[in-house]
Chain A
Amino acid sequence: ETGVTQSPTHLIKTRGQQVTLRCSSQSGHNTVSWYQQALGQGPQFIFQYYREEENGRGNFPPRFSGLQFPNYSSELNVNALELDDSALYLCASSLALGQGGEQYFGPGTRLTVT
């Protein structure tokens, strides 16, 4: 196990609703990245936070937003949910600024939008 935790494990929401996903990073890691992984695809980068500031964003609309807290835990918020938002949402923590280095992934949150 990596020490990165995510909650909840599974979630079912209705189109148009809002959702908040949570991630606790590995101890000592100050960088958190969020990814969306649709079935049969690789993870797609949503955004990254470094010391509570957004540090890079992928091709996702503004209804995907995030926060990082002083203890480096993080939230991903998605507003106005659409059916295509159904996916596995992964967070990854790392020591390295940027997006590579050795990232340690959490177990993910499986979101289903009906």
Chain B
Amino acid sequence: EDKVVQSPLSLVVHEGDTVTLNCSYEVTNFRSLLWYKQEKKAPTFLFMLTSSGIEKKSGRLSSILDKKELFSILNITATQTGDSAIYLCAVEGNKLVFGAGTILRVKS
């Protein structure tokens, strides 16, 4: 059965810290891995990764995929209180499977 596991489940950091969120997966017929940020209700799209080793970057956020080891990381540098949210990883195989998410809280 397809599976996506995110870690840690939650973490609390101070403004300015750098955080790394992890996503490992087991999925049949891998097509892509996606990261979303969920603040109140609607998850908002961050990145889609399809190729190993190519870093995607958007401002203070970056992500990379390792298709050999079956994981991805999402980095956030110089965290701000506005980064507080649930970060969801999803993997598209025969269907789209989400992890349970990582709850990030950034304290001022």
Which chain A residues have a beta carbon within 8 Å of chain B's beta carbons?
Answer: 2, 4, 33, 35, 40-45, 56, 58, 88, 90, 98-108
Contacts and interface: CB of A to CB of B under 8 A. Distances in A.
Given A43-B88, A99-B95, A90 B43 contact: yes
B42 A100 contact: no
B12 to A, nearest CB: 17
Contacts of A41: 100-101
B51 to A, nearest CB: 14
Interface of B: 4, 6, 31-32, 34, 36, 40-45, 48, 88, 90, 92, 94-101
B95 A43 contact: no
Contacts of B96: 33, 45, 99-100
A101 B92 CA distance: 9
Given A42-B100, A42-B101, A99 B92 contact: yes
Contacts of B4: 42
Given A103-B45, A105-B42, A40 B95 contact: no
A90 B41 CA distance: 8
Given A99-B95, A100-B92, A100-B96, A43 B43 contact: yes
